[in-house]
Structures are given as structure tokens and as C-alpha cells.
């Protein structure tokens, strides 16, 4: 049978109820009047669209069939009607003519299991779980209890759908279901989901409210404190802000850097001291002021002093030391760092890094070492943009800031161990730093102003020549060969024994060891070109002797036999290493 359809945006009802409707839409009024004039039943159907539907696709294909019990037209043109619902129906062949919808209706049978124990238990569980939604949805549970006691199951289901404001799609699913037990199961599932969501929302809202209250409380207290300080003539925040401005004006930074710092200071001054951005801007200005723009170590270069320092701190390596002195002589003549960047290449333990420290001592300059092993992020050199959380300057700028001078000796250690990945190519940044034509205006991403690196003496170290041709082209490679046995003995006499004594707490006067014993130690317990392993073995000798004498450094003569006795356990490991087997941990 074909029936008239009354679309509703927010009304879904089950059969067996008397529903009052108030209508002010002309198309809906015409629909009810047409159904009443034809003495036909009316189908209340939910709609997809927000405005009045214009096509059959705008309404759902299921609704509630009902009799029109009463129609009352009011003077303002609106209409009040009472409809008694009887069946849930499926709609087919929906048509619209003059904004009035009609469709073929087929009843959907609903099993009346409303009085079964399972159905009643489900109803009570739904009512109980509605308690969790009562605070957020602002409905009264007393009204729902009255519905349970005095009205049929359909009224309870409709009341829960309306009170919990369940989505139309979910409400239509419930309406299609063919038993009250299944309807309540779907309803309980939806109520539980909404209750859990409400708990999470309440927890988030409480945290946000607490944070806002704490922030508001702190802001109020800070404002009161500033007001009190102003009354007492002691406004520390304003004093700090004004002090920053004076420091910017008095600083020796270039004009563009000063303009940038002053621009950020004006932004900071307009912000609240409690704001995050204000704190970030203050940190940025402090970083700019901390840079050694015009601060230099002005110790005069003395070639005799430089030679004496190199000879006192390093034995042998005459060719290497002569090349270093040539470089220093050019610096003395030109007054700058003209020439290639020195790169010391050699096996571990031959003294590359300590040689760089000696150069800094010979020049009377500050010394900083930057280890490049494993670096694969360009930001290590160029820094991070200050808009990022935790942003900071690159390692070059950080080294200059710690030196408090713009002409230190900076050692780029293990330059052959740099990597490269998706975060960028650090080698390209390093090429700019090492190029005398480009590093005069090096720009760190954090500082955002140019800095002159031409006064910095960069020295690189590497274990091998496994580097790109572009990088090798920027530097002068100086290979440091391994030490001969005689040189190792001399180094042990002049440096290593005293260092081992200092590390273990020995008095050097109590250590008696001749060249024969040193050669025995070198030949039988070390297998490297450098002297790092020799240093470890000397330290091990002194440690073992302390253990034998209850922690006392008794005067001891270390003969070859005494050395074998003390280091017998280590000797087998060294022999295994020499023949290529190694020792597994």
C-alpha cells in the first residue's frame, strides 16, 4: 500500500506510542492535510539532509507507520497533530511531488519479547549505564525511572535515544532490529561507548581546567609581584629587559647582528614575561650577546717558543713539527690563517689530537675539540632554526661561545668518520666552514646572522684518507707515521711513565725501569704504531704492583722478569692477537 511520508530531522519513534508533533513547514503541513483528507496512515521517517528533503535519496528507507488521531491548525498557519504509531515499515519506490513524499510500505515484524527476563535485565543495565552520561548530557534519571515503571518498552528505547542524543544512523539501526532484546543490545553497546568517551573527555577537561587555573593563578601572582616591585621602585623584569637593551647597544657585534638583536628585543618587550615565546626570544638574545664578535686572544707569535713547546710535549716527528712551524711562521708574517687547513692522518695513538693541543699552547690560543665520529646531521654544524623546540646553535658556534674568543684552535677530530643520511649532508656544511672564501660570512641557522670564521685555526685529524675528494682538496694532508722502538722508549721516559704514575698515585722516584725493560715491554706486550697501548701496559704494571703491596707504592725495579711475572695473564692475549686469533669475551 502507498502511504504519505512525513520527513523529520530529529525524530525517530517506535510503534505503540502516541506522538504529538508540531509542524511549521508548509510542505509538512500539506503532507499531513493530504493524508488526513484521504483518511490514510502516515509514515514518520528520518531524513539525511539538514534542510527539508528535496529528493527520495534525502530520506531513509525505513520509518514508523501511524494513524493520525487529531489535527489542529493554529491561526499562525502552523499545525499540531497527534499520531498513534503502529508498525515499523520499509519504504520502496519513494516519490516526491510538490514536495510531498509517498512510498510503498512493507511492515517489519518485531518480536514482542519485552517481558522476558533477559530483555528486562538489559533494560535495567542500560538505565544503570546512563548514570555515567547524566552529568555530561544534562538529563534527569528520575524521568527515565518513571518511564520504566509506567510506560511500554518502546517509550524507554525512544527516551534513551533522545536523552543520549544518539546519531541518526545508529537510531535507524536500532529501529530496523526485529526484537526488543536486540534493540537493547545495540543501545547498551552505544551507551557504553559514549560513557567511556565521556570519561576521557571529562579527564581531559579537568586537566585543562587545572592547568588554566594554575597558569591564571601564577599570572595573577606575578602581576601582583610586579605591581609591588614597581611601588617599591624595584621592578626586576623591567630592569632585566632594559639591561638587555643596554648590553645590545654596548656590544661589539656587527651592525646587522645588532639590528637583528634589537628587533627581537622589541618583540620580547611587547610580550608577557610568562609567555613561552618571550622566554625563547630572551634566550636567543642571550646567545647572540654571548658570541665573541670582536674578542680575540692577542698573544704574539714567537717561533722559538712554539718550537720549544712542540719539542717539550712531543718526542720525534721532526718532519711533522717542521711543517707545523712553517705554518705558524706564515701566520706570523701575514697576521692571519692564510693557507690550507692542516689534516693529520695516522694510526690511533700516534699523537694527532695531542699535537693539536700543543699547537694551541704554542700560539697562546684557546683550544676546543669537536668529535665528528658518527655525525650525520647537518644541524650539528649549522644549528637548528629557533622556531623548533629545543633549538640551539651548531657545534662551531657553541665552541666559540665557550672559548670566549673568535680565534681559537678548533680540532675537527675523526673527520673521516662522518656519516650521511636523510637529515642532511654534514660534509657540505663542513666544506663551507673550511673554505677561506666562504667562512668569512658563515650563517648559523639559530643565530640567523653572519659570523666571521676566518680567524679560527681549524685542524683536522683522521685515521685514514677515506674522505671525499672535495674535502681532501680543502686540506693539506700531513701523514704521521708510527713510532720506532727507540722513539717509543724515549716517549715512555719523557711522558708515559710520569702519566702512568699520576693515574695510579705512584711516586715516580719509586719506579725503577731501564731501557732494556722498556724494550721488552714494547716488543712483547704492544703491537701498534702509536704509544696508547704502551701507556696502558705501564699503567697495568703499576696497578698490579699496588695490589701485591696492599696499595703502597714500594720502590720497585721493573726488570723483564718482573714484567713477565706481573703481566703473564695479559701476555697470552697479546700473543693470540698477533697470530690473528683474538680473544673472545
Question: Which band of pLDDT confidence, cut at 50, 70 and 90, is reported for residue 411?
Answer: very high
Strands 409-413 and 367-371: parallel
Q: Is the pLDDT of residue 423 over 70?
A: no
Beta-carbon contacts of 34 under 8 Å, excluding residues fewer than 6 positions away, are 4, 100
Task: Retrieve residue 25's grid coordinates.
Answer: 513547514
Which pTM does this prediction carry?
Answer: 0.54
Cβ atoms of 104 and 92 closer than 8 Å? yes
Q: What pLDDT sits at residue 417? A: 85
Residue 187 has phi, psi (to 5 degrees) of -65, -40
Q: What pLDDT sits at residue 473? A: 86
Strands 2-8 and 100-108: antiparallel
Q: What pLDDT sits at residue 497? A: 92
Cβ atoms of 542 and 497 closer than 8 Å? no
Residue 350 has phi, psi (to 5 degrees) of -90, -5
Q: How far apart are CA 498 and CA 507, in angstroms?
A: 9
Mean pLDDT score, 413-434? 79
Question: Which band of pLDDT confidence, cut at 50, 70 and 90, is reported for residue 272?
Answer: low
Task: Retrieve residue 65's grid coordinates.
Answer: 507507520
Question: Which band of pLDDT confidence, cut at 50, 70 and 90, is reported for residue 318?
Answer: confident
Cβ atoms of 410 and 370 closer than 8 Å? yes
Mean pLDDT score, 185-195? 87
Q: Is the pLDDT of residue 226 over 70?
A: no
Q: Of the ranges 256-265, 413-422, 518-527, which one carries the lowest mean pLDDT score?
A: 413-422
Q: At what angle do helices 168-176 and 153-163 cross, to 10 degrees?
A: 160
Number of neighbouring beta carbons within 10 Å of residue 210: 10
**CA nearest neighbour of 411 among 357, 465, 451:** 357
Write the pLDDT tens digit of every residue in 9-59. Answer: 878 888 888 889 888 888 888 888 888 888 888 999 998 888 888 888 888
Distance of CA 366 to the CA centre of its chain: 34
Task: Retrieve residue 193's grid coordinates.
Answer: 561507548
Q: What pLDDT sits at residue 584? A: 39
Q: Of the ranges 147-151, 163-167, 347-351, which one carries the lowest mean pLDDT score?
A: 147-151
Mean pLDDT value across the chain? 84
CA separation (Å) from 122 to 116, 187, 198? 10, 9, 21
Write the pLDDT tens digit of every residue in 46-79. Answer: 988 888 888 888 889 899 999 998 888 888 878 8
Question: Which band of pLDDT confidence, cut at 50, 70 and 90, is reported for residue 569?
Answer: low
Which alpha helices (H) appear in 436-580, and where do they start and end? Answer: 469-474, 485-491, 497-504, 515-525, 532-548, 560-566, 568-578
Amino acid at each position: 500500500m502507498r502511504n504519505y511520508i512525513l520527513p523529520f530531522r530529529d525524530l525517530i519513534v517506535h510503534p505503540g506510542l502516541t506522538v504529538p508533533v508540531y509542524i511549521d513547514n508548509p510542505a509538512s503541513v500539506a503532507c499531513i492535510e493530504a493524508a488526513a483528507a484521504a483518511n490514510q496512515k502516515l509514515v514518520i521517517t528520518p531524513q539525511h539532509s539538514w534542510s527539508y528533503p528535496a529528493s527520495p535519496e534525502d530520506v531513509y528507507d525505513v520509518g514508523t507507520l501511524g494513524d493520525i488521531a487529531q489535527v489542529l491548525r493554529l491561526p499562525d498557519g502552523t499545525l499540531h497533530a497527534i499520531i498513534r504509531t503502529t508498525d515499523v515499515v520499509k519504504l520502496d519506490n519513494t516519490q516526491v511531488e510538490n514536495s510531498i513524499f509517498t512510498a510503498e510500505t512493507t511492515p517489519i515484524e518485531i518480536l514482542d519479547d519485552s517481558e522476558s527476563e533477559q530483555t528486562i535485565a538489559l533494560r535495567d543495565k542500560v538505565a544503570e549505564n546512563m548514570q555515567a552520561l547524566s552529568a555530561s548530557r544534562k538529563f534527569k534519571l528520575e524521568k527515565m525511572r518513571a518511564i520504566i515503571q509506567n510506560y511500554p518498552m518502546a517509550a524507554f528505547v525512544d527516551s534513551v535515544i533522545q536523552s543520549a542524543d544518539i546519531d541518526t544512523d545508529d537510531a535507524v539501526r536500532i529501529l530496523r532490529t526485529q526484537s526488543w532484546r536486540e534493540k537493547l543490545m545495540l543501545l547498551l553497546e552505544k551507551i557504553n561507548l559514549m560513557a567511556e568517551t565521556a570519561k576521557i573527555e571529562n579527564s581531559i577537561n579537568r586537566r585543562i581546567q587545572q592547568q588554566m587555573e594554575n597558569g591564571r593563578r601564577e599570572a595573577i601572582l606575578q602581576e601582583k609581584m610586579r605591581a609591588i616591585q614597581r611601588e617599591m621602585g624595584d621592578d626586576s623584569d623591567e630592569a632585566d629587559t632594559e639591561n638587555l637593551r643596554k648590553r645590545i647597544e654596548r656590544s661589539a657585534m656587527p651592525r646587522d647582528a645588532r639590528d637583528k638583536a634589537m628587533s627581537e628585543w622589541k618583540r620580547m618587550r611587547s610580550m608577557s614575561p610568562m609567555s613561552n615565546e618571550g622566554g625563547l626570544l630572551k634566550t636567543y638574545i642571550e646567545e647572540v650577546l654571548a658570541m665573541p664578535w670582536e674578542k680575540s686572544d692577542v698573544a704574539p707569535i714567537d717561533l722559538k717558543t712554539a718550537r720549544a713547546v712542540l719539542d717539550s710535549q712531543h718526542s720525534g716527528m721532526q718532519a711533522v713539527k717542521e711543517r707545523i712551524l712553517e705554518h705558524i711562521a706564515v701566520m706570523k708574517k701575514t697576521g692571519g690563517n692564510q693557507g690550507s687547513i692542516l689534516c693529520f692522518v695516522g694510526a690511533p695513538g700516534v699523537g694527532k689530537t695531542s699535537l693539536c693541543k700543543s699547537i694551541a699552547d704554542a700560539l697562546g690560543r684557546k683550544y676546543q675539540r669537536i668529535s665528528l665520529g658518527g655525525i650525520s646531521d647537518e644541524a650539528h654544524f649549522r644549528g637548528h632554526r629557533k622556531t623548533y623546540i629545543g633549538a640551539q646553535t651548531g657545534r662551531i658556534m657553541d665552541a666559540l661561545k665557550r672559548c670566549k674568543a673568535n680565534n681559537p684552535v678548533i680540532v675537527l677530530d675523526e673527520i673521516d668518520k662522518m656519516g650521511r643520511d636523510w637529515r642532511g649532508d654534514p660534509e657540505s656544511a663542513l666544506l663551507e666552514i673550511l673554505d677561506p672564501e666562504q667562512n668569512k660570512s658563515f650563517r648559523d641557522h639559530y643565530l640567523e646572522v653572519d659570523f666571521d670564521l676566518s680567524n679560527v685555526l681549524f685542524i683536522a685529524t683522521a685515521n685514514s684518507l677515506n674522505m671525499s675528494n672535495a674535502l681532501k682538496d680543502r686540506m693539506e694532508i700531513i701523514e704521521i707515521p708510527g713510532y720506532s722502538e727507540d722513539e717509543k722508549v724515549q716517549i715512555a721516559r719523557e711522558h708515559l711513565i710520569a702519566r702512568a704514575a699520576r693515574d695510579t698515585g705512584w711516586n715516580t722516584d719509586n719506579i725503577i725501569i731501564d731501557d732494556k725493560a722498556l724494550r721488552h715491554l714494547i716488543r712483547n706486550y704492544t703491537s701498534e704504531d702509536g704509544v696508547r697501548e704502551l701507556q696502558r701496559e705501564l699503567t697495568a704494571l703499576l696497578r698490579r704492583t699496588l695490589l701485591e703491596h696492599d696499595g703502597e707504592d714500594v720502590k720497585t725495579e721493573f726488570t723483564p722478569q718482573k714484567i713477565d711475572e706481573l703481566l703473564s695473564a695479559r701476555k697470552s692475549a697479546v700473543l693470540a692477537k698477533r697470530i690473528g686469533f683474538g680473544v673472545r669475551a
